[in-house]
Amino acid sequence: MQLQRSYTLPNCTITLEGMSDPSAGPNLDASMTILAHAVCQFLGQDAPLSGGREFFTHLVTTVNAYAQEQLSGLRSRVSQTGLVRMKRLENGLHELAVYGAQEERSPRTEPTQVTQLSAVQLFDLVEAVDQFLADGTVLPDLQLPLLPLSKQDVPSQVPVAQRVAAPALGVAGVAIASAVLLGLPVPEINRPRDVAGLEASPPEDLAKPNSETNAEGDMPRADPLDAQPRITDADVLAEIQAEVERNLNDAWTESLGLDESLDYRVSVDQNGKIVGYEGLDERATDLANQTPLLDLLYLPPADVRLQNEPLAQFRVTFTPDDQLEVVPFTTADLGSNPSTPELGANGGDEQAPQTTPPQAAAVPTTLDPPASAPGLVKTQVIRDEAAIARLNETLYNRIDTAWQQTPSFEQPLEYRVQISDQGEVVGFEPLTPAARTYGSEIPLETLKQGAARPESVAEFKAVFQANGVLEVSPWDGF
């Protein structure tokens, strides 16, 4: 049976024409189950929106979704698709567009009807639809549950261009920065000069003075050694030398089994700690690790800069018969080392007068003859008692003859003296700080001059008393 239902609102009227279930028979209360025609008329508009079941279904769906959009502000896709589409215009009006059935398939088709609705008209439309949905007697199978928009269904409210702008800017920034940075030249590696001559693979980075990786025995400083202030005070130098000798002797516990001596240039700070050493020839460099120098190497903590600490330079020699010689470093020692030519060139003149103890007349500007430096020779020691006795007397006579100067010192000066088989003084070493200080008054240097390296030496202890008395006794005792 034919039925008609209307939902009338001030601005909008929806009229539905349809039929009830044919099998139900004539019944005034029958539900309209079949929709034949639907008309949506807005007040003040001539052409109503009309269509069949499909149109009406789309209309209801879209209006439903659109109303929720207006309440929450989140656009959904439903109102943008289908035969009936709605969207909000710039001026606050709502545009309702109806598309024909065939045109829905192809995009960018023109709608058959477009209407603009004010807020009140829209509300009346929504209300009409709600009244229809609430009406159980009309199209009961057309259910439209009210559901919130799920997260996935919310398309981004921000246009794509805006969203992409920020990451695009970031990527562009990274690209530009990397292009600029790649254009920078690779920094050159400047190998520090004082590293030359050390192990075959000098470490590349000596800029860190206290780097752990340099504990293998290389000079931990990148600066040339001349740049360090020198310790010039003779007393201090003497004390430092004694300290170094003590430490080295204590640390040197086992024989090195050397055929020839090993010479090192050792830098020592004012406390007597060895802060660096350098082999003066290749063999010395190779065998540096076997010497006690490595054990005594003192690496200051990372935050202590050795930049301006005064240092003293000594030449340390390990002889084949396991004797230790420590003498202040001079330029002559450098001369024998071909691998550090640059130090000899500019540092030599300043070095010698400062590092050698002022036994050579204490004139800082003159060069001292290197051969007069105190030092012991590492050769075999004569053990024959008769020879020792003979050489004892020879040494006594020699020194006594040479010692003419009236002593100005008050303490006795003690020396360890080496005398060759022929009676030549070949080496000596001050044993006390006073001995170092007043070494200039002792004729040992002049006696030693010109002595060749002997096969064997006898060692004696020579004591120069303040009252002018000389005592010479064998080093090992009677």
Partner 1 sequence: MSASVSVTPPNPASVELLPSVLKGLPDIEAAPEVCSRRARQQLDLILLAIEALDLGGSEAILIVARELELKSIIKNRVQLWRLRGSNPLRRNSQRRPLKTLEAKALIAIIGYIARRLTVVLRQLLLVHRQLTEKGQPLDSHFRLNDYLQRFRVHFRQRMNPRRAGVMAYDSDEKLNGLAISLLEQLLFCTGTAGEKRLWVSLFDGEV
Output 44 or 187, the one with its CB closest to partner 1: 44
Q: How many residues bind partner 1 (CB under 8 A)?
A: 31
Q: Find the length of the chain.
A: 478
State in angstroms the smallest separation of the CB of 72 from partner 1: 4
Q: Does 43 bind partner 1 (CB under 8 A)?
A: no
Contact 197, 213 (CB under 8 A): no
Among 39, 133, 367, 381, the residue binding partner 1 under the rule CB under 8 A is: 133
Output 107 or 145, the one with its CB closest to partner 1: 145
Among 6, 131, 270, 440, the residue binding partner 1 under the rule CB under 8 A is: 131
Output 11 or 359, the one with its CB closest to partner 1: 11
Q: Does 402 bind partner 1 (CB under 8 A)?
A: no
State in angstroms the smallest separation of the CB of 59 from partner 1: 14
| Both structure tokens of 93 | 């009006």
Q: Does 24 bind partner 1 (CB under 8 A)?
A: no
Q: Does 249 bind partner 1 (CB under 8 A)?
A: no
Q: Does 74 bind partner 1 (CB under 8 A)?
A: yes
DSSP secondary structure code for residue 351 in this structure? H
Which residues in the 91-130 window bind partner 1 by CB under 8 A? 91-92, 118-120, 123, 126-127, 130
Among 89, 101, 147, 168, the residue binding partner 1 under the rule CB under 8 A is: 147
Going by C-beta distance under 8 Å and a sequence separation of 6 or more, which residues neighbour residue 170?
none
Cβ neighbours around 120 below 10 Å, total: 13
Give the separation between CA 436 and CA 442, rounded to whole angstroms.
Answer: 10
For the chain, the distance separating the N- and C-terminal CA atoms, rounded to the nearest angstrom, is 149
Give the separation between CA 442 and CA 405, rounded to whole angstroms.
Answer: 8
Q: Which of 293, 278, 274, 262 has its CA nearest to residue 219?
A: 278
Q: Does 136 bind partner 1 (CB under 8 A)?
A: no
Q: Does 473 bind partner 1 (CB under 8 A)?
A: no
Q: Does 207 bind partner 1 (CB under 8 A)?
A: no
Which residues in the 276-295 window bind partner 1 by CB under 8 A? none
Tokens 């190497």 belong to which residue?
Answer: 297
Q: Does 134 bind partner 1 (CB under 8 A)?
A: yes
Burial class (CB within 10 angstroms; exposed 0-12, middle 13-18, buried 19+) of 129: buried
Among 26, 136, 151, 212, the residue binding partner 1 under the rule CB under 8 A is: 151
Q: Does 332 bind partner 1 (CB under 8 A)?
A: no
Give the separation between CA 279 and CA 287, rounded to whole angstroms.
Answer: 9
Give the separation between CA 122 and CA 12, rounded to whole angstroms.
Answer: 8
Among 2, 8, 27, 72, the residue binding partner 1 under the rule CB under 8 A is: 72
| Both structure tokens of 54 | 């499909």
Q: Does 54 bind partner 1 (CB under 8 A)?
A: no
Contact 40, 17 (CB under 8 A): no
Q: What stretches of 51-206 show up as alpha helix (H) in DSSP? A: 53-72, 119-134, 160-182
Output 30 or 142, the one with its CB closest to partner 1: 142
State in angstroms the smallest separation of the CB of 176 from partner 1: 30
Amino acid type, 393? E
Going by C-beta distance under 8 Å and a sequence separation of 6 or more, which residues neighbour residue 350?
226, 230
Output 54 or 127, the one with its CB closest to partner 1: 127
Q: Does 71 bind partner 1 (CB under 8 A)?
A: yes
Stretch that binds partner 1, among 71-79, 257-265, 426-434, 436-444 (CB under 8 A): 71-79
Q: Does 440 bind partner 1 (CB under 8 A)?
A: no
Among 14, 16, 40, 67, the residue binding partner 1 under the rule CB under 8 A is: 67
DSSP secondary structure code for residue 106 in this structure? S
Q: Which of 471, 467, 472 has its CA nearest to residue 406?
A: 467
Which residues in the 152-191 window bind partner 1 by CB under 8 A? 154
State in angstroms the smallest separation of the CB of 111 from partner 1: 23
Amino acid type, 89? L
Give the separation between CA 7 and CA 385, rounded to whole angstroms.
Answer: 141
Residues at the contact surface with partner 1, assessed by CB under 8 A: 10, 61, 67-68, 70-74, 91-92, 118-120, 123, 126-127, 130-131, 133-134, 143-151, 154
